[in-house]
């Protein structure tokens, strides 16, 4: 059975571990290169992508993660994790020393950070994910504003408002899955189950 890891540098990695545990799937925290080598698949949690970027580079994990993704390792990113899996960030954070936020990449898409507004604009919304209707929580959520031909759209916003209609909030490219929203904070395990199936070659 594939051994799933959760990148545990920053953000709500504990909620992802709990969701996987509820599904009876052993998952381990990944904070070092050694721990990365022990896993077959990686979940990248929500949090703050510029911090995950900075810490992963400080810990020497960014390059090995990029290499594993390029080598076909299944990965799932939620919210900040979606940003980390994007090949391009429309509005990257720029730190005081002028360094531009980077991502691991892997999914041929451009994401816009905080595309639905600020923390106070966080919202819950029901949407379709692969034939299932589920509750999705958006917290300073990104949006895929452009996708390449190899990217499959799994969920879009339907009729929350005309301005938001059709916005892309879940995508898949090969073994890589990304959602703008946070399934780990609701009771729903549908997306984690989908990712588990994907790691087994069943999705």
CB of 181 to ligand GLN, least distance (A): 9
CB atoms within 10 A of CB 34: 8
Q: Tell me if residue 79 is catalytic.
A: yes
The single residue of 16, 143, 182, 192 carrying the catalytic annotation is 182
- Sequence-separated (6 or more) residues with CB below 8 Å from residue 31: 8, 9, 59, 61
Alpha helices in 4-155 (DSSP H): 13-22, 33-38, 49-58, 62-70, 80-85
Q: Which of 25, 79, 143, 192 is catalytic?
A: 79
140 known member of a binding site: yes
Q: What angle do CA 185, 106, 132 make, to 5 degrees?
A: 40
Question: Among residues 40 and 123, whose Cβ is nearest to ligand GLN?
Answer: 123
* Of 40 and 58, CB closest to ligand GLN: 58
C-alpha 73/C-alpha 108 separation (Å) is: 16
Cα separation, 152 vs 154, in Å, equals 6
14 annotated to a ligand binding site:
no
Q: Closest CB to ligand GLN among 145 and 203? A: 145
Tell me: is residue 94 an annotated ligand-binding position: no
Residue 15 annotated in active site = no
Tokens at 69, concatenated:
């993704």
Is 182 annotated as catalytic? yes
Task: Supply the minimum distance, in Å, between the C-beta of residue 193 and ligand GLN.
Answer: 21
Contact footprint for ligand GLN (CB under 6 A): 46-49, 79-80, 83, 113-114, 139-140
Question: Catalytic residue numbers?
Answer: 79, 182, 184
Residues making up the binding site: 47-49, 113, 139-140
């Amino acid at each position: 059975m594939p051994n799933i890891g959760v990148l545990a540098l920053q953000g709500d990695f504990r909620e992802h571990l709990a969701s996987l545990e509820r599904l009876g799937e052993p998952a381990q925290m990944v904070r070092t290169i050694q721990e990365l080598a022990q896993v077959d698949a990686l979940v990248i949690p929500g949090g703050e992508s510029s911090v995950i970027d900075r810490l992963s580079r400080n810990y020497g994990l960014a390059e090995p993660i990029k290499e594993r993704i390029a080598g076909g390792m299944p990965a799932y990113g939620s919210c900040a994790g979606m940003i980390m899996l994007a090949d391009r960030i429309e509005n990257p954070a720029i730190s005081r020393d002028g360094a531009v936020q980077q991502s691991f990449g892997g999914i041929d898409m451009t994401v816009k950070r905080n595309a639905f507004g600020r923390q106070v604009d966080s919202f819950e919304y029901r949407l379709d994910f692969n034939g299932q209707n589920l509750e999705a929580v958006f917290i300073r959520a990104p949006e895929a504003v452009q996708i390449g031909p190899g990217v499959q759209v799994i969920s879009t916003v339907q009729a929350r408002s005309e301005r938001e209609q059709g916005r892309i909030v879940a995508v898949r490219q090969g073994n890589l899955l990304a959602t703008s929203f946070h399934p780990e904070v609701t009771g729903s395990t549908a997306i984690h189950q989908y990712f588990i199936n994907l790691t087994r070659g069943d999705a």
